[in-house]
Amino acid sequence: MDITEIKDFPVNSKSLREVREFSREVISRSSILEESKEELVLAIGEAAQNIVKHAYKDNLDTNDKMQIKISFKNKILEIGFFDKGKPIVEENIKHRSLDDIKPGGLGTYFIQQIMDEVVFKEATGWHNNLVLTKKY
């Protein structure tokens, strides 16, 4: 069964619960995805959190929306994140070393552990477009 679902969310930390609820609902539609639902919800939640925390770091009172697109076709899950925050410099994104025990810096690591591919793409009308992919 093919799935394509798109939803906009206000860019703030209160939206993260709504992002997870949306993700759980969409993922639950596929028995293939259902098995890794909680991991996928974590990856999606972390990516959305990064938008709030980093792309809008200096603009916490924004009225902007971020958009999340989940599609599952031919056993390939693709999750797109679109925002109009500060453009991300991909080279600057790295998780902390796991041996360096300190708070923070784990979200990107979780995303990389859960997904097969994590890339930034160009998207007309948006400043950042992160695409997470996983093959089943």
Reading the block at residue 36, the tokens are 């890794």
Selected binder of another protein within 6, 17, 29, 90 (CB under 8 A) = 17
Give the whole-angstrom CA distance, residue 66 versus residue 80: 10
User: Is residue 65 a contact residue for another protein (CB under 8 A)?
Assistant: no
Structural tokens at position 71: 């599609």
Give 45 or 85: the residue with its C-beta nearer to another protein: 45
Q: What values do phi and psi take at 8, rounded to 5?
A: -100, 145
CA distance 42 to 15: 14
Which among 61-69, 70-78, 98-106, 118-126 is the span making contact with another protein, rule CB under 8 A? 98-106
Query: Among 37-45, 56-64, 76-84, 119-127, which window interacts with another protein (CB under 8 A)?
Result: 37-45
Which lies closer to another protein via its Cβ, residue 87 or residue 105?
Answer: 105
Are 58 and 87 within 8 A, CB to CB?
A: no
Residue pair 27/72 in contact by the 8 Å Cβ criterion: no
User: Is residue 54 part of the contact set for another protein (CB under 8 A)?
Assistant: no
- What residue ranges bind another protein (CB under 8 A)? 13-14, 16-17, 20, 38-39, 41-42, 45-46, 49, 52-53, 98, 101-107, 109-110, 113
